Chain A
Amino acid sequence: MIALGLLGFAALLLLGLTLWRRRSRAILRPIDAYERLNRAVGLAVEMGTRLHISLGRGSLATTRGGSALAGLAMLRRLAERTSASDRPPVVTSGDAALAILSQDTLQSGYRVAGAQEQYRFSTGRLTGLTPFSYAAGSMSVEHDENVSANVVIGDLGMESALIAEASDRENSSLIAASDDLSAQTIFYVSAQEPLIGEELFAAGAYVGAGASHEGSLLVQDILRWLIIITILAGSFLKFLGMI
């Protein structure tokens, strides 16, 4: 019942704050990695190079799918913004359903930007069904496809080190975030500006995906403060021996 109540509360907050955000735009704190991403998108369009977006291997049937959905929301916006480019972005993933959704998202992005002819089925790829085969397939994209920036956002594990290393070898930018703690550690040492924890879920808001993304950032902040207060109050009561 508590879980359902929390869910309902979060849903109400999300709806309310999204409506509020539609009227006034949010002022977001600067995150270096997303500033680098916005620069990389502009540079890729100007220089005629590609963006490589890797969405990880988070199955949508599991809780790991959340990071994949956040990656798809960002992809949609990036597809719109790069629709003027000669070289459309390449999207790789390690889960079949995610690969299909990435194709669909790319197509929607181009359609909204009025550049539907830009869409190629080969730009949304399944590169492998096991962690390492996925990484190996993504590495070959980084090597062969004139990529200037790699955006790796989603559920990845240790194999992310291989993707990050390939990016380093090709001298391309790496903007990376994962919901997995080991991958976060790897990205902390490999990426120029690392994204930590829930910063992954801010991707949509920082690439201009709309009021709902800004609203959900606000809800995350409110819920986080509620959790902090609950933990502190619980610890204090436990210290006093009241619970």
Chain B
Amino acid sequence: MRIVAILSAIAAISAGIIVLLGYFVSIPPLPDLRLLLTDWAILIAGMAVLVGIYNLVAVQMEKIRTRQKGGAYGALLVLSLIITFGFGLLLGPEDPWMRLAVEAVIVPVEAALMAILAVTLIYASIRLFQRRMDVMSVLFLLAAVVFMLAIMPTPFGPIPGDWFILLVEGAIARGGARGLLIGIALGTLLTGLRVLFGMDRPYGGN
């Protein structure tokens, strides 16, 4: 087990360093190696989807077998998956029946969830003051309402001074968003470096 852990760490760290150097240094064979390793990663990610789907089915089957809560939904999920997968293999993804499965089932279900989302967001905003009654929450809701008033269409045309609201609040919002994104970029950089140096090993064994 220890040897497997060491080997997987060596493979991950060396692959990471080669891919990273391949981005910055164009000395052969680094760029070619980077492309090769990226191709391998894509292949492995494709296989991971199959393993993930197996995991999804196995979890639902266990739910059904042990008669857990929601087992009936699990059975429905497994049955739908088998039927769709089987027909997909037989008919191909361009078949009208397969397209119907997507257009008449998956797209409407996701659209319905999107609609629920709108209601959920309004409800969450209303409940914000119940959760936290502080200056930042008041500012947050005030900014959201004023901004929406400025951009929404009204029967009487644009509200007076909408350009000023968009100018001031837009500049603040853009500045804030950029600040957050810079912070996230720094966090991502450092997380990547930790994995690259083997300080974090999410691939197990440590």
Nearest chain A residue, comparing its CB with the CB of B184: A179
Q: Is A96 a contact of B120 with CB atoms below 8 Å?
A: no
Whether B187 and A201, one on each chain, are in contact in the complex, defined by CB atoms closer than 8 angstroms, is yes
Contact segment of A3-11, A23-31, A38-46, A81-89: A3-11
21 contacts between A and B (CB under 8 A): A61-B42, A69-B194, A69-B200, A121-B55, A121-B58, A122-B58, A126-B52, A130-B106, A133-B110, A140-B70, A158-B117, A161-B124, A181-B177, A197-B180, A197-B183, A197-B184, A198-B183, A212-B199, A212-B200, A216-B190, A227-B186
Does B56 lie within 8 Å of A127, measured CB to CB? yes
Q: Is B95 part of the contact surface with A, judged by Cβ < 8 Å? A: no
Q: From A204, which residue of chain B is reached at the shortest CB distance?
A: B200
Q: Which applies to chain B's interface (DSSP): helix, strand, loop or mixed?
A: helix
Given A132-B114, A161-B121, A216-B191: 6 more A-B contacts, CB < 8 Å: A67-B184, A72-B200, A144-B70, A181-B177, A204-B200, A223-B186
A67 to B192, CA, bound (A): 10
A binding-site residues for B, Cβ under 8 Å: 3-4, 7, 10-11, 14-15, 18, 59-61, 63, 66-67, 69-70, 72-73, 76, 95-97, 99-101, 103-105, 107-108, 121-122, 124-130, 132-133, 135-136, 140, 143-144, 158-159, 161-162, 164-165, 168, 179, 181, 184, 186, 188-190, 192, 196-198, 200-201, 204, 210, 212-213, 216, 219-220, 223-224, 227
- In the bound complex, residues from chain A placing their C-beta under 8 Å from that of B120 are 161-162, 165
